[in-house]
């Protein structure tokens, strides 16, 4: 189970999965590549379909400023793990690819690459309602 702190997140709207998640992913990726001169973000599926109206491009621009940013919109392409997917690429001064990261904005500003949860703040090891009910009966 996640901490109560993970339930209520504060950030840009109107859609946390279209602004907070992508912005958080971009900030994390940028911090890992401080020498990058430019970035490219490819938005897939739902993020690309409604990203302009939900200000995804604005959130990404804010997160990656002052570096150059190119955004590619692919609303017709849905990645298999989640409909809100983005790929972030970092480039050096010669436009050589330094690194890339595909990440998913899964709601409420939460992101995952489904490989590592380095930003996950797990406080409890209970993950199902059955576990929670069992645990609560034990502490009575």
What is the mean pLDDT of the segment spanning 116-139? 73
129 pLDDT band, cuts 50/70/90, is: confident
Q: φ and ψ at 62, to 5 degrees?
A: -65, -45
Give which of 105, 23, 100 is closest to 57, Cα–Cα: 23
pTM for the complete prediction? 0.77
What is the tally of helices (H) and strands (E) in the chain?
Answer: 4, 5
Q: What is the CATH number of domain 12-116?
A: 3.30.1330.90
The residues, any chain, with a CB within 8 Å of residue 57's CB and separated by 6 or more, are: 51, 71
pLDDT at 122 (0 to 100)? 62
4 pLDDT band, cuts 50/70/90, is: low
Residue whose tokens read 């490989």? 115
Question: Is the pLDDT score of 13 beyond 90?
Answer: no
Domain layout of the chain by residue ranges: 12-116
pLDDT at 7 (0 to 100)? 55
pLDDT digits (tens, 9 = 90+) for 66-104: 999 999 999 999 999 999 999 999 999 999 999 999 999
The residues, any chain, with a CB within 8 Å of residue 140's CB and separated by 6 or more, are: none
Give which of 72, 67, 68 is closest to 56, Cα–Cα: 72
Structure tokens belonging to residue 52: 């302009």
Mean pLDDT of the chain: 86
């Amino acid at each position: 189970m996640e901490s109560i702190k993970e339930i209520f997140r504060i950030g840009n709207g109107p859609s946390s999965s279209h602004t907070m998640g992508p912005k958080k992913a971009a900030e994390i990726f940028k911090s890992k590549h401080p020498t990058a001169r430019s970035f490219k973000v490819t938005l897939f599926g739902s993020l690309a379909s409604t990203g302009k109206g939900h200000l995804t491009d604005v959130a990404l621009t804010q997160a990656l400023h002052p570096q150059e940013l190119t955004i590619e919109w692919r609303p017709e392409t849905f990645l298999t793990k989640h409909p809100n997917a983005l790929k972030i690429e970092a480039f050096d001064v010669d436009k050589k690819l330094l690194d890339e990261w595909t990440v998913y904005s899964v709601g409420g500003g939460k992101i995952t690459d489904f490989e590592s949860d380095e930003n996950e703040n797990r406080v409890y090891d209970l993950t199902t309602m059955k576990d929670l009910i069992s645990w609560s009966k034990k502490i009575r």
